[in-house]
């Protein structure tokens, strides 16, 4: 009987430790998402970001025929997913979206600057901004085609 109780106790402790580790890993994955204010915070600065882009003479021509509400929605999904949130990006791949747009490094950098302006406007701390930018940086290669 003692052997059975001992075995049950070990199993219970193991299950507790596994669930604790899993919860810890889960919370570590969404730290950036939480730091950005969750989906609401992301959506708020994304809406400002889109407005800033539309006013930016360096790049706004590329967005003149864009459904800006859909763009904001897709960017919110993308940033949410990249930051460890529960969202799933439902848009096309970066290669497909940008293949015929002739995007240069200067265009890409202007977009990144506009994103930083939007995040600053909504008081996203610089360290959090940098973490999101680091997640987005690998997209430069499939986006910049010229």
In a domain, 42, yes or no: yes
**Structural domain count of the chain:** 1
User: What domain range is 133 assigned to?
Assistant: 30-143
In a domain, 82, yes or no: yes
Q: Which phi-psi region, left, alpha or beta, contains residue 144 (left: φ > 0; alpha: ψ -120 to 50)?
A: beta
Q: What is the mean pLDDT of residues 63-76?
A: 93
Assign residue 64 the CATH number of its domain.
1.10.490.10
pLDDT at 2: 54
DSSP class of residue 57? T
- Burial of 96 per CB tally in 10 Å (0-12, 13-18, 19+): exposed
In a domain, 23, yes or no: no
Q: What is the mean pLDDT of residues 36-46?
A: 96
In a domain, 24, yes or no: no
In a domain, 116, yes or no: yes
More confident residue, 78 or 10: 78
Least confident of 7-11, 96-100, 138-142: 7-11
């Amino acid at each position: 009987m003692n052997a059975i109780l001992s075995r049950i106790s070990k199993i219970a402790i193991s299950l507790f430790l596994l669930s604790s580790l899993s919860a810890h890993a889960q919370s570590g994955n969404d730290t950036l998402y939480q730091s950005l204010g969750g989906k609401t915070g992301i959506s708020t600065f994304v809406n400002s970001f889109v407005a800033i882009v539309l006013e930016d003479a360096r790049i706004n021509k590329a967005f003149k025929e864009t459904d800006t509400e859909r763009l904001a929605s897709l960017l919110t999904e993308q940033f949410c997913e990249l930051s460890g949130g529960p969202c799933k990006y439902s848009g096309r791949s970066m290669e497909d979206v940008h293949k015929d747009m002739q995007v240069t490094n200067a265009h890409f950098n202007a977009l990144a600057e506009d994103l930083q302006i939007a995040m600053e406007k909504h008081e996203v701390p610089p360290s959090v901004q940098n973490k999101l930018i680091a997640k987005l940086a690998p997209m430069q290669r499939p986006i910049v085609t010229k």
